[in-house]
Amino acid sequence: MAGMTIEGVVEHGRRLGRELGFPTANMAVPDSVTAADGVYYSRAEVDGTLYDAMSNLGSNPSVGGAVRHLETHIFGFGGSLYGRTLRVELVRKIRDERRFATIGELRAQIARDKEYILELKDNTMYLDLTMPYKVADMSLAEWGRKEIEIAEHEMPGLMAVRRKYGPQKPLEGVRVMGSLHMTIQTAVLIETLVELGADVRWCSCNIFSTQDHAAAAIAEAGVPVFAWKGETLPEYWWCTAMALSFPGGKGPQLIVDDGGDLIHLLGGKCADLGEHLIGGCEETTTGIHRLYARERAGILPCPMMAVNDAKAKHYYDNKYGTGQSSWDAIMHTTNLMVAGKTVVVAGYGWCGKGIAMRAKGMGADVIVTEVDPFKALEATMENFRVMPMDEAAKYGDIFVTATGCKDVIVERHFQVMKHNAILCNSGHFDCEVDVAALGRLAEERFPRRQNIEGFRLPDGRILNVLAEGRLVNLAAGNGHPAEIMDMSFAVQALSLEWMAKHAPALEKKVYNVPAEIDDQIGRVKLAAMGLAIDALTPEQEAYLTGWD
């Protein structure tokens, strides 16, 4: 990439590098190199072989006086570098250069830098900023495009945003990065942000939730997307780092986070990429909890909008979306009858209510477990049985967790469950069902069918876990219908537009979506459904807001 790759002859190898444990190469830096001074994760090519390296770019007097030099420590290279031609690609700036009082302090910093660099990347997958995208299969792009076109008809809210703001381009040139399930519906959001002028990069927020045809279509449309279904965890973090790294080593200005992984990276390991961050949006309940925890600790890196808490989001997406798509995934994965089964729903929040309601509608006997007395009372009023998981574990045929909490179903529960019980999770993270403990308990674990793993216990019982305990509706299903995601994503798009305008005046806090955005989306949705509602007369309004 222009300005980020430096090629030259090694002028001198410094003893310092050898003392520190890495061969070191010093090279002059041509004026054409536009990269900012600092310490970089780099890749050095020596005689056709690529090595991970750490480079210090600047006019540090220890390197070469006022003239810019590049000092590169090459990991795992043993030979002499002096006089050789070296090609160094600056992959990512990791910190500003600073002076150390002793060689011991410098050595300790370099050890931390090296550890960070090696953690940042999977050893076999380099951050390659020349890579335009990485998806599973580009031949799926045509299919993805057809599905996107269908989804556009089902997403009138996002289309209204395009019509209203497309010509104004309120996000013109703004670097927007998203970490949110790379599905067909998300593709419609991405293309809406592009239409609003944004420079977008994307990855998924879950290793299983990408729809490969959606990712391929988005890549073909020219958006750098790094996502495929079935990523390993190192690949997941690689995709996130690739999507965060805009050309020139710059980070995003606005982010779309789902679950808090982006804020976690930008507030910590990838803080350098948060330099230009002005704000962002968080999609889900679990992510919002984490944002408030950061706000309380005073470590929120930028103002964030609680998209999940908008009425247009959680009233519909969490309740009706999760309610329908979780059962859709469970039913097509297991091909079991729901009627006549005992279903245990852990958590009677927005998602749990939808899941329990749909299970009841299909004829299941539903048990709810809760920790909140009022949610438990509400479930009772809806005629669900309420009891602790310790008891419910004995009765359930199908267990669905939706708490956002961890260790909801653990070893003592597995010990008493029925033979052939089905366990799955609709909460954001895979920590609700302790699948690791079940693995330790089991004599054998074996694939039963796609997305179903069987665990044979010593007494012969088999318990079945869907999608490794990851959110079942996306990992083993198609996610929410586009009609539902339309509302959530209209909130996202309008919140980003609002953030871009208001961010300079905001503090590093969590903000609620302005009521007029919520209201506007509700009205667009009603109109799209062909529904009209009454309007308050001025007299009624005065009556409702007055005191007599």
Query: Residue 320, interface with ligand NAD (CB under 6 A)?
Result: no
Query: Residue 41, interface with ligand NAD (CB under 6 A)?
Result: no
CB nearer ligand NAD, residue 63 or residue 262: 262
Q: What would the two tokens of residue 495 be?
A: 């919140």
Q: What is the DSSP string of 156-217?
A: HHHHHHHHHHTTT-TTTT-EEEEES---HHHHHHHHHHHHTT-EEEEE-SSTT---HHHHHH
Q: What would the two tokens of residue 301 be?
A: 């890196």
The piece of 107-115, 198-206, 298-306, 422-430 that touches ligand NAD (CB under 6 A) is 422-430
Interface residue with ligand NAD among 93, 114, 145, 314 (CB under 6 A) is 314
As measured in angstroms, the least distance from the Cβ of 497 to ligand NAD is: 23
Q: Residue 147 and residue 217: Cα distance in Å, rounded?
A: 9
DSSP 37: S
The piece of 65-73, 190-198, 260-268, 425-433 that touches ligand NAD (CB under 6 A) is 425-433
Interface residue with ligand NAD among 20, 405, 503, 506 (CB under 6 A) is 405
- The string over 330-352, giving b where at least 16 C-beta atoms fall within 10 Å of a residue's C-beta and e elsewhere, is beebbeeebeebbbbbbbbbbbb
Find out whether 187 and 217 touch, Cβ atoms under 8 Å: yes
CB nearer ligand NAD, residue 42 or residue 488: 488
Interface residue with ligand NAD among 403, 451, 464, 520 (CB under 6 A) is 403
CB nearer ligand NAD, residue 196 or residue 424: 424
Helix (H) or strand (E) holding 95, with range, is: strand 85-95
Q: What would the two tokens of residue 37 be?
A: 């001074």
The piece of 46-54, 59-67, 166-174, 314-322 that touches ligand NAD (CB under 6 A) is 314-322
- Sheet containing 85-95: which strands, arranged edge to edge? 5-9, 85-95, 38-46, 49-58, 69-74, 24-28
The residue with tokens 């020139």 is 248
CB nearer ligand NAD, residue 170 or residue 481: 481
CB nearer ligand NAD, residue 272 or residue 370: 370
Mark residue 467 as left, alpha or beta (left: phi above 0; alpha: psi -120 to 50; beta: remaining). Answer: left
The piece of 195-203, 219-227, 423-431, 444-452 that touches ligand NAD (CB under 6 A) is 423-431
Helix (H) or strand (E) holding 486, with range, is: helix 482-502
The residues with which 344 forms a beta bridge, in sequence order, are: 367, 399
DSSP 292: H
Using Cβ positions, the residue closest to ligand NAD within the complex turns out to be 349
The residue with tokens 């749990």 is 352
Residues 64-103 that bind ligand NAD (CB under 6 A): none
Q: Residue 15 and residue 19: Cα distance in Å, rounded?
A: 6
As measured in angstroms, the least distance from the Cβ of 321 to ligand NAD is: 6
As measured in angstroms, the least distance from the Cβ of 467 to ligand NAD is: 11
Query: Residue 106, interface with ligand NAD (CB under 6 A)?
Result: no
Q: Residue 202 and residue 474: Cα distance in Å, rounded?
A: 17
As measured in angstroms, the least distance from the Cβ of 37 to ligand NAD is: 41
CB nearer ligand NAD, residue 369 or residue 520: 369
> What would the x/- binding string for ligand NAD be over residues 345 to 384, using CB under 6 A?
-xxxxxxx----------------xxxx--x---------
As measured in angstroms, the least distance from the Cβ of 128 to ligand NAD is: 32
CB nearer ligand NAD, residue 238 or residue 489: 489
Query: Residue 471, interface with ligand NAD (CB under 6 A)?
Result: yes
Site for ligand NAD, rule CB under 6 A: 284-286, 314, 317-318, 322, 346-352, 369-372, 375, 402-405, 408, 426-428, 471, 473
